[in-house]
Structure formats: C-alpha cells, structure tokens
C-alpha cells in the first residue's frame, strides 16, 4: 500500500499551473505612498496612495486615481520602523506599472532603497549624542572635513 505524505501531496499541488506563481513572497501591508508618474525623465503627475501588498520584486498599491500601464513610477513609502528608534525611514522605489485595474496599480520594482527622513525638532535634543555617535562612525566627506583639508 502506497500512502502519500502531506509533503508529497503539497509538492504535487505546487506543480500545477494554477495559483500564484510569483517568485517573491508578498506581504500584505498598508503603508502611505507618495507617487510620481514619469515618462522620459519628465514628471507628468503626482499623487497619494496606500500599499496593498509588497515583495522584493514588486508591489500593489491603491492610488488616488487610475494610472496608465507602461509608465514609470517613483514611490516614496512611509516605513513603519525607525532607524535605531530615532530616525524615520522611507522606502524609495523606482518601477514600471505592469497592471492597472481602476485605482489598483501593480508595479514591478526596478530599484529600491531606504532613506532617512528628518528628525522632528523636539526629538533632536533628546538624541543629539546618538546622532553624533552615528555620524562619527561615517568616513569623512568633503562636507564634514575642515575647509583646509577639503581643498
């Protein structure tokens, strides 16, 4: 008698062509988005929205209006975690609109990076030492070198 294990049955199910075949795991998360619609390096439009889900390869968002397939977007996404519990972060994504249904827009990511946002004035005095310590660990740049060394 040949009994199939749960793993074997699940493996056979994944061999079928139906279902979600994306390579990257999607995470359902609603985050605020500011978007810029770009064509040939020209800013065409801007607006607001909210993510529905995201992965390392793309994201689905609800924009404040329908957007055309095929154009590039730059997204600034408010990230829910602060850097070292001090600096707010945003995820900046460059991508192409691959699907659009009403206000729902699917974007394939081309490039992404985290950026820090400004620290509110009332928090600067409380974290001044932490900020200076973090800055001390960075290699000197022309902007942080004394003038005589920078020239």
Render pLDDT for 3-24 as a digit per residue (tens, 0 to 9). 545 545 554 544 444 445 556 7
Are the C-beta atoms of 35 and 46 separated by less than 8 Å?
A: yes
> 21-120+127-135 belongs to which CATH class?
mainly beta
Cα separation, 135 vs 102, whole angstroms: 45
pLDDT at 147 (0 to 100): 42
The predicted model gives 22-45 an average pLDDT of: 91
pLDDT at residue 60 tops 70:
yes
The predicted model gives 140-149 an average pLDDT of: 41
Place of tokens 């902007």: 143
Average pLDDT, the chain: 77
pLDDT at 146 (0 to 100): 43
Q: Sign of dihedral through CA atoms 66, 68, 73, 79?
A: positive
pLDDT, greater one: 54 or 7: 54
Share of the chain above pLDDT 90, in %: 58
pLDDT, greater one: 117 or 151: 117
pLDDT at 123 (0 to 100): 52
> For 95-105, how does the pLDDT look when each residue is reduced to its tens digit (9 = 90+)?
999 999 999 99
pLDDT at 100 (0 to 100): 96
pLDDT at residue 74 tops 80:
yes
């Amino acid at each position: 008698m040949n009994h199939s294990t749960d793993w074997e049955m699940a493996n056979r199910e994944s061999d079928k062509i139906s279902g979600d075949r994306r390579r990257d795991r999607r995470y359902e998360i609603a985050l605020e988005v500011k978007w810029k619609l770009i064509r040939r390096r020209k800013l065409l439009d801007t607006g607001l929205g909210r993510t529905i889900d995201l992965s390392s390869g793309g994201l689905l968002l609800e924009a404040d209006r329908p957007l055309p397939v095929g154009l590039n977007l730059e997204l600034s996404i408010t990230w829910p975690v602060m850097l070292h519990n001090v600096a707010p972060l945003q995820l900046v994504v460059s991508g192409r609109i691959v699907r659009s249904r009403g206000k729902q827009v699917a974007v394939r990511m081309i490039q992404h990076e985290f950026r820090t946002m400004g620290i509110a004035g009332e928090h600067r005095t409380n974290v001044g030492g932490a900020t200076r310590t973090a800055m001390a660990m960075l290699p000197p740049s022309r902007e942080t070198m004394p003038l005589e060394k920078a020239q």
